[in-house]
């Protein structure tokens, strides 16, 4: 009987501790801007400063928009980061600082190292304490996120030229030929 109680106690402790261990793999701090987290399952979650980050799991992809963050992972965990088309991967224990603005960014390996892949396919290893700066010229290489057509001010080739005629005057000009044809005795009726 005592053995059964011991097993039940261990089982209850596992049930209580496992959820916190599974989600405690990734710690985010010092967030400014918007954090986008994509899980291995493809789920996308948005976080703002002051939100609870406890649900971020190992192997997630973290991107920050117009801001910065510090992310830490435990032994055996993996984290991926992204900034302007530059991808970084680190194995725990590790800590990374990420700053990403509209055209510039910075990746800093605070603890351990980060493998960085640039948009052109080049890879480099950022050692602990090292920084990788992404400048405006680097950001210009980032791939497009969606296909689309060019937008702008376009004018149809057969569109009439714009003149100073008011809408009412223009309507009268357009309707005048119809009124004139109704006065003609041999014109077909509509």
Chain centre to alpha carbon of residue 60: 13
Quote the pLDDT of residue 53: 84
Q: Are 96 and 90 in contact (CB under 8 A)?
A: yes
Any domain includes 3 = no
Q: What is the C-alpha to C-alpha distance for residues 103 and 8, in angstroms, rounded to an integer?
A: 56
Pairing assessment for the beta strands 61-73 and 78-83 based on DSSP bridges: parallel
Domain-located, residue 61: yes
CB of 90 within 8 A of CB of 79? yes
Is residue 123 in a domain?
A: yes
Grouped pLDDT means (10 residues each) for the chain, 190 residues: 50 42 71 94 93 88 95 94 94 95 95 94 94 73 53 52 64 66 55
Give the CATH number of the domain where residue 95 resides.
2.60.120.1440
Backbone dihedral angles phi then psi of residue 65, each to the nearest 5 degrees: -115, 130
How high is the pLDDT of residue 22?
42
**Cα–Cα dist 27/138, whole Å:** 28
Domain region containing 62: 23-139
Q: What is the pLDDT of residue 15?
A: 41
Given this model, what pLDDT does residue 6 score?
46
Domain count, the chain: 1
Q: Find the radius of gyration of the CA atoms of the chain.
A: 31
**The model's pTM:** 0.60
155 within a domain of the structure (yes/no) = no
């Amino acid at each position: 009987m005592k053995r059964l109680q011991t097993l039940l106690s261990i089982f209850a402790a596992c049930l209580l501790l496992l959820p916190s261990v599974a989600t405690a793999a990734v710690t985010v701090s010092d967030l400014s801007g918007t954090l986008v987290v994509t899980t291995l399952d493809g789920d996308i979650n948005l976080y703002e400063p002051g939100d609870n980050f406890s649900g971020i799991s190992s192997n997630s992809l973290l991107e920050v928009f117009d801001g910065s963050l510090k992310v830490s992972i435990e032994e055996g965990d993996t984290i991926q980061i992204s900034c302007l088309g530059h991808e970084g991967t680190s194995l725990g224990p590790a800590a990374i600082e990420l700053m990403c603005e509209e055209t510039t960014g910075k990746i800093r390996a605070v603890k351990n190292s980060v493998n960085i892949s640039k948009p052109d396919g080049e890879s480099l290893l950022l050692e602990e304490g090292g920084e990788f700066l992404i400048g405006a010229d680097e950001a210009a290489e980032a791939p497009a996120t969606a296909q689309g057509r060019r937008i702008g001010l376009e004018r149809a080739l057969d569109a009439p030229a714009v003149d100073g005629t008011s809408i009412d005057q223009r309507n009268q000009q357009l309707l005048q030929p119809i009124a004139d044809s109704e006065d003609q005795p041999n014109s077909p009726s509509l």
